[in-house]
Structures are given as C-alpha cells and as structure tokens.
Structure 1
Amino acid sequence: MDDCFHFRSNIAIMLNITRDHLNRYNNNIENYVNSKFRIAIFQHKNDILIYNYDDPIIRNGLKKFLLKSICIPFSIKKELNFGAYLKQDKIYIRNKKRLSKYLLKNISLSGDHNVYNIMASLIVSDILNVQRKSICSVIHHMTGLPHRMEKFFHMNGVLFINDSKSTNVHSACCALKSLNNPIIWIAGGKDKGNDYKDLIPLVSKKVKVMICLGTHNHNIYNFFKKIVNIILETNSMKQAVRMAYKYASQGDSILLSPSCSSMDLFKDYRERGNEFKKEVKQLFYE
C-alpha cells in the first residue's frame, strides 16, 4: 500500500489496524493508518469498502478520510442497522432489501479473528450473489492454515499449538483469547516497536509460564516479568519446547504465538513454525 498512488479496488476490506510494523513508519501510528487507507481513498462512489466497526482506529480513520465509496460495517459486538453482525452463533447481513442469516455452530475454526474474517467474506459473497448453499458448504468445511492456531499434537494430555504466523500483538491477543485452559506461552523474536499493553489482561489471567524466544529478549522479558509468575528466556527452539513441556500439566496448552517477527532466529514464520513442530515430535520420540 505504501507504493499505491492510483490503485483502485472495486471491493476493499479493512479487517483491523493495529500498532504493527511501526518501525517502518517512524513509530508513528498515523503514518501507518494513512498507508492502510490507501486501499479505499481512490475508490469511486459505486465501489465498496467493507470495514470492521469494532476497530476504533478504523472508525477514526473513516472520519479523517473523505471516502466516496459505499462503506459497509461488520461487528461481533453490536447489532447494526446496516452491515453484518453476530447474534447467538448466527451472522446476520442487513441491507435495504433483505436480512440474511448464517449459522456459525460446529465450524472448525475458532476465535474472534476467524469470525471477523468469515463476516467480511460473507458480505462480499452476498454482494456478488454467490449461492447460499455454496457459502454454507465452504464455511462448515473450512480448516485452518498451517502456522495459524494449528493444533497439531497431543502428548500426555498437553496440547501443542503452532501459531507462528502471529507476528504482532493483535494476533497474539486473538490466540490467547481463543483458549480457555492454562497456557505455557512461547513468544518473542524481532520486536517491531510493539506495544504489549493490550496483552496484559489476557496474559495475567491465562498464562502460567512464559518463555521468551529470541536473540534480544530484553523488551518483552522486562515488560512481562512482573505479570507472569514464571518467565524464562532462550535463543533455542529446542530448549524452548523442552522448557515448556517441563512446566506443563495435563490439560495445559503449549502455545507458540510469538507476537514478533521471526527474522532474528529464522528466515520467516514458516521456518519458525516447522522448527517448533519438529522439536515437539523429537521430544515425543525421546
């Protein structure tokens, strides 16, 4: 988006804007917001912007930029008179002509972030008149992507979850929020100017052990050292997995959800996630 000066999209979606990648924007959130909104500022009056009503940064951005397009909101927190909203495990899409309803029960994807993604996709499908039976079939047969809340292994009652694609605070929030059992959390990596304060309520309530994995753990370690009772650090995935399992009890989840870029120890999040899975399986064989 930084390099888009004329790009026009007929249908655009803004899922969220969080304090991410700020090292590329002089640690100025407004510069990042300006870049994100380029997806919409060149739209014409018959184009459509679908946006997350629950995101305050997006709502403020809509006041700042004079958009020509039709703006359609979606929310999991508020029943909207126009757009999509969540109510009792059902997604409703309301426009001037009709009210459509889709049941969310028994889908394999968990977490608010997945509900937001589904809502945005449903609005687009509704606009494009995709057949209802096709939409419902896809929703109820979707499976998660590798490295995104990938529940890939159980061992002695402990669940291992690979969420290596979580490279920012917002993603880690989604991961922690979606789990109800005690968590041993493996986090850290290359800090991109992260502000971890949004994680405090979730970490203090759900995380029993935190393991900081990275070459420079100073920021994340110091931030959470008074919030988590047990906090450890390492620059080895092998050691991180063994530390985590040492403190795990039956019913716990060991969650790799780094909240940071992988570029300090790994070439990308895929390599980090694959290394995590390899070390877990190696631990099992041992």
Structure 2
Amino acid sequence: MYVLEVSSFQLDDCLNFRSNIAVILNITRDHLNRYDNNIDKYIHSKLKLAIFQKKEDILVYNYDDPILREGLMKYAIHPQCIPFSIEKKLHMGAYFKDDKIWIQSGNKKKFKFLNIKDILLIGHHNIYNVMASLIVSQILNIDKKFVINTISKFKPMKHRMEYFFHINGITFINDSKATNVNSVFYALDSIKGPIILIIGGYDKGNDYHELIPLLKKKVKAIICLGRKNKKIIKSFEKIIDCIEETQSMREAVRMAYRFSSYGDCILLSPACSSFDLFKDYKEKGNKFKQEVKELFTKKMK
C-alpha cells in the first residue's frame, strides 16, 4: 500500500494517475499566479485526483468546502463519494457534534468514533484532517482502538500553530506554514483572545477578503512583513486601525510586543509564501522564534 500526497503542480502533468482511495481536504484560492489567476484552472487541476478514478474507487471529500462541492458537480466523477463535515449532520460519512466525531454509514448505523477532547491538535482544520483519516481507516478495516490511540498521541508540528512561548500573559504562536489565506482563516478561528497578526510575504494571487469577518472580531493590530505590502494594507485598512509594515523580523516582533497587552496572542501566520525575505517557511518560523527569545533574554539581563 502506498500513501501519497500529490500537489496540483504534479497533477498538472498527470494524464491517467489513478488512486483507489482519494482524499481532497479543500480547494482554496492558492497558487493562482501559476494558473493565470483563473481559479477554474486550479480547480480542474486539483480534481484530476477524482476525475481519473473509476466506479470501484472511493473519494473522501470536505462537504463544507463550497468550491470543492461545486467542482465535483461540474465534472464527471465516477467513484463512490464519502463526505465529512463540521457544519452539517450527514446521512453518510463523518460529522462533528457535541465535541465528538460521528461516523454515519449508508445503512443508517451511526457510532461515536472519537471525542475531540482526547486529542492534542487544535483548530477546525485539524478536525477535518482527523475526520478524513477516520473514514479512510474504516474503509481499510483498521482497528478502531489502534486508530484512536495513534491520533491521541499526535502533537502539533513545528511551524504549524506552534505555541512556543508564553510570557507576561502573552502567547506567541508560530504558524509560518500558513502560506495561504485559508490556513490563516483556520488559525484565527482557533484562537480565542485578541490577536496581533504578523502577515505577508510573496503574494500568490491571494484574495484576503475572506479573513475580514475574523479580523473584525479578533485582530487588534496587523504587522505586514514583506517587500510588497500594498495589497494587504488596501484589503484591511478600513477595518483595522493599527497596520504597520516592515521588512525586518526583529522589528516585526518588537512592534507586535509593543501593541500587545495581557491576554493577547502574537501570531505569525503569513498567508503568503516566504520567498521574498526568507529561504522558506521554516527559516521564517525559526527567525520569528529566535527574535522572540532574544527579545526577552535581553530584557531579563
């Protein structure tokens, strides 16, 4: 058995690639600079994963993603489709209710698979990932106890909603892997307290407007870290009073700390690739952590 993660870049060049079980977690406005800023071309590339499947194959997909759901209706899709949802109780597939993940089969049998309080992963995006994994484990008849035991041991990875520092009532989160708008959306959604957001980098044809409802509700200040910040500033200047920009991670960290107060969260979640000022998201995240630790090391001395 082979488990593959296949990108749209790879699918672009595929003419007959077929997977017996395919999982599509979402389709968001990402990499559009590669697709002539045409989201339909990007959707077609991603959906090749399902288009090449046959009737005896299975597609597991996110029912809550309108772009994905509409795309599946547009193209000839032959496999059995099994959805998962946080927002809706489904007659088949996996859904989320009362902090629990439920699996519903076609014969109207349902059972509780997992209590979300038993896992360490934070945020709706991780619940989606877990639901997709649970469906696949069921298809493959993997023992339920083994699956739950494994998932309960997962810890957040570096650069992915990494809670790495807490001081003076302020929490610092490194989410440098969030290189598209959708990832930032889930990061903001998973944080309760007021947020100072460090955002920016090399824009990939992003539409930042889907962040506006969460920004209005949760974000008190924005620091744009990148060579070109005009698009981000223009998107948010009417809703966020405090927007600053810089090309220095050190300055970004110090700005964020000046704007913060007890109970706040300082979040690095770029929504862009890191190639304008950094080698990659790892270098960007590590530099963020380094500057935070240096700031407080100097203060303590």
TM-score by length of 1: 0.98
Number of aligned residue pairs: give it.
286
Q: Tell me what 1:144 maps to.
A: 156
2:23 alignment partner, SS class: strand
1:191 alignment partner, SS class: coil
CA distance in 1: counterparts of 2:228 and 2:106, whole angstroms: 54
Match status 1:57 vs 2:67: yes
> Where do residues 14-53 of structure 1 align in structure 2 (5 Å cutoff)?
14-53=24-63
CA distance in 2: counterparts of 1:275 and 1:2, whole angstroms: 34
Q: Tell me what 1:156 maps to.
A: 168
Q: Tell me what 1:72 maps to.
A: 82
CA distance in 1: counterparts of 2:148 and 2:118, whole angstroms: 12
Q: Tell me what 2:101 maps to.
A: 91
Give CA deviations for 1:141-169 in whole Å, capped at 9, x if unaligned.
11011100000001111100000000011
Q: Tell me what 1:185 maps to.
A: 197
Match status 1:268 vs 2:280: yes
CA distance in 2: counterparts of 1:168 and 1:6, whole angstroms: 28
1:36 alignment partner, SS class: helix
Superposition deviation, residue 95 in structure 1: 1.4
Q: Give the share of equivalent positions with the same residue, in percent.
A: 60
CA distance in 2: counterparts of 1:40 and 1:62, whole angstroms: 8
> Where do residues 195-214 of structure 1 align in structure 2 (5 Å cutoff)?
195-214=207-226
Taking only aligned residues, the RMSD between alpha carbons, in angstroms, comes to 0.9
Superposition deviation, residue 223 in structure 1: 1.5
Structure 2 contact 91–106 (Cα < 8 Å) conserved: no
CA distance in 1: counterparts of 2:208 and 2:132, whole angstroms: 27
2:12 alignment partner, SS class: coil
Match status 1:7 vs 2:25: no
Match status 1:246 vs 2:258: yes
CA distance in 2: counterparts of 1:201 and 1:55, whole angstroms: 17
Q: Which runs of 5 or more residues in structure 2 are unaligned? A: 1-10
Letter of the structure 1 residue corresponding to residue 111 of structure 2: S
Structure 2 contact 197–267 (Cα < 8 Å) conserved: yes
Superposition deviation, residue 106 in structure 1: 3.6
Superposition deviation, residue 100 in structure 1: 3.0
CA distance in 2: counterparts of 1:148 and 1:3, whole angstroms: 29
Letter of the structure 2 residue corresponding to residue 40 of structure 1: A
Match status 1:218 vs 2:233: no
Runs of 4+ in 1 over 3 A off after TM superposition: none
1:165 alignment partner, SS class: coil
1:40 alignment partner, SS class: helix
CA distance in 2: counterparts of 1:104 and 1:214, whole angstroms: 37
Letter of the structure 2 residue corresponding to residue 63 of structure 1: M
Match status 1:170 vs 2:197: no
1:284 alignment partner, SS class: helix
Give CA deviations for 1:71-93 in whole Å, capped at 9, x if unaligned.
00000011111111111111111
Give CA deviations for 1:83-138 in whole Å, capped at 9, x if unaligned.
11111111111113542312212421111100000000000001111111111112
Q: Tell me what 1:108 maps to.
A: 120
Letter of the structure 1 residue corresponding to residue 199 of structure 2: A
Superposition deviation, residue 35 in structure 1: 0.2
Q: Which runs of 5 or more residues in structure 1 are unaligned? A: none
CA distance in 2: counterparts of 1:159 and 1:137, whole angstroms: 29
Letter of the structure 2 residue corresponding to residue 263 of structure 1: F
CA distance in 1: counterparts of 2:174 and 2:158, whole angstroms: 8
CA distance in 1: counterparts of 2:297 and 2:92, whole angstroms: 54
Structure 2 contact 222–244 (Cα < 8 Å) conserved: yes
2:26 alignment partner, SS class: coil
Deviates more, 1:96-105 or 1:213-222: 96-105
Superposition deviation, residue 256 in structure 1: 0.1
Structure 2 contact 229–245 (Cα < 8 Å) conserved: yes
CA distance in 2: counterparts of 1:275 and 1:221, whole angstroms: 23
